[in-house]
Chains A and B, each alone.
Chain A
Amino acid sequence: MPDVNSPSPQLIRAERLNKVYPVLGGEPIVALQNLDFTIGRGEFVTVVGPSGCGKSTLLKIMAGILGCGSGSLTLGGIAITGPSRHVGVVFQAPVLLPWRTVLENVMLPIDVQRRVRAAHLERARGLLHMVRLDGFENRYPAELSGGMQQRVGIVRALVHDPDLLLMDEPFGALDAMTREQMNLDLLRIWADSGKTIMLVTHSIPEAVFLADRVIVMSPRPGRIIDVISVGLPRPRRLAMMSTPEFGALTEAIRSHFGTIGALDA
């Protein structure tokens, strides 16, 4: 990660981060309240919470799409004031442009950021190979299944070699089996690339399975109610999901929502 080097091992640092949405003629909505957290370089952090806890808002603020209210939020020691070339974002939907082929969709960040096309074409092909999409370079998105489209979306977020990968419930729309496969694919990409990843999800098992640390958020106003370190060995395997350790971790997270009545568990 050469671009935003700073001596600190933390890539992301948030201090007393607040976000309030004004409501016309009503009480303003507090989406995020006093968030304090850090994400280390190369770390895989997941954010889990019930719907409406502001976790997508948090991700959009980190992506620079939304402005943050008060508090400070830095990427590599530099305040996030807008979208950054050093960040890749994967959305809930694949968001592919239907008139571009798979390869051209992957190359979109290169075109937008006026990077050298020739230098990144090989990288794009290599990434497509990594997610088992070789041979699909010249297909159009409409010809691909949902899982394949989302893999194209992930490759697109990686093609410009960002320091931080932000993922907003990237597998929420996929069926359970595709989702498990995508989780394994993502862990392999993470291990191979050494990226820092923050992934937002409402699935507690997914949050535990992927993460080094799980940030647990409360329903609105969104606050951090726990940060859980996942000590499971890597590489993670699907079989780990049936171990007592895994069960204890998911139960610890679920208990938070049980006590505040956000889930029926």
Chain B
Amino acid sequence: MKTGSRRADLPLTILLAVLFVGGWQGAVWFFAIPSIVVPGPGSVLLALRDGMLNGELPAHFLVTFGEVVMGFVAGALLGLFWGVLVGLFPLLERVVYPYIVAFQTVPKVAIAPIIVIWFGYGMTSKVIITATIAFFPVLANTIVGLRAAPRDQVELLIALTASRWQIFRLVRFPQALPYIFVGLDVAIVLAVIGAIVGEFVGAQAGLGYLILQRDFNLDMAGVFAILLILSALGIGLHLLVTGLQRRVVFWMDNAGDRTVGA
């Protein structure tokens, strides 16, 4: 059922994109909008092609991509680690969690300049900013997920003489995985934002740095071309996480469709 309706949606989705791009180009022509305000889709694609061919976009993309991946991995691992600790030791939750929430309420954009001053204009500061942003959704979802284990499954393990660690390994952690993946999915999209914000604050390379530079030169088509790359990056990483999720948390998928026998 699900895949069938998805297939039926596809032509509509494509039609919407065609209408949007056509309307955009039409509006630019009809109202004679200068390209330093809104460039037409044609000039955006040209800017994209030129940037790709002269190597400028790939070079800056690799910098941003590296920051996103490293920051995401670091933030996610830290979030997972602390989430598991807090989930395992309820005392830790009462003692540590208020500080984690307090830290979360500070806008990361506001501390980005401090991090750049501390760690310089290179990739390190961007990786750290990205990690601090990716950390919280993974942490919060891990904690919630570890509490989501059904009572009867935990009682089964207790009746089997399982230790705390066995209950964690055999029931609590697997039950937390769907929640952890929701956290990872949120974190990966936030990680792209984190890297760009970091580059806005102070950088020598990266797509965020390039946006500022092209903005300064009133190269709107060039900026739009970067936005295309960023959104493609976000979509690609999101698909990567959800693809991984379907493999790891396979039992959450279409469980009802596979029922056989009576």
Binding site for B on A (CB under 8 A): 60, 63-65, 82-85, 87, 89, 91, 93, 95, 97-99, 108-109, 111-113, 136, 139-140, 142-145, 147-148
Contacts and interface: CB of A to CB of B under 8 A. Distances in A.
B171 interface: yes
Interface of B: 150, 152-153, 155-162, 166, 170-171, 174, 250-251, 255-256, 258-262
B161 A65 contact: no
B161 A97 contact: no
Contact of A89 (B156, B166, B170): B156
A125 B251 CA distance: 23
Contacts of B261: 136, 143-145, 148
Contact of A143 (B166, B170, B259): B259
A259 B170 CA distance: 48
A84 B159 CA distance: 7
Contacts of B174: 97, 99
Contact of B256 (A84, A136, A142): A142
A83 B158 contact: yes
A63 B157 CA distance: 12
Closest 4 pairs between A and B when the two form their complex, measured CB to CB = A142-B255, A98-B251, A112-B160, A89-B159
29 contacts: A63-B159, A64-B159, A83-B158, A83-B161, A85-B161, A87-B159, A89-B159, A95-B150, A95-B153, A95-B156, A97-B170, A97-B174, A98-B255, A99-B174, A99-B250, A108-B160, A108-B170, A109-B160, A111-B170, A112-B157, A113-B160, A113-B161, A136-B261, A140-B258, A142-B251, A142-B255, A143-B258, A143-B259, A143-B260
Contacts of A112: 157, 160-162, 166, 170
A152 to B, nearest CB: 12
A32 B256 CA distance: 40
A24 B148 CA distance: 26
Contacts of B162: 112
B158 A65 contact: yes
A120 to B, nearest CB: 14
Contacts of B153: 95, 97
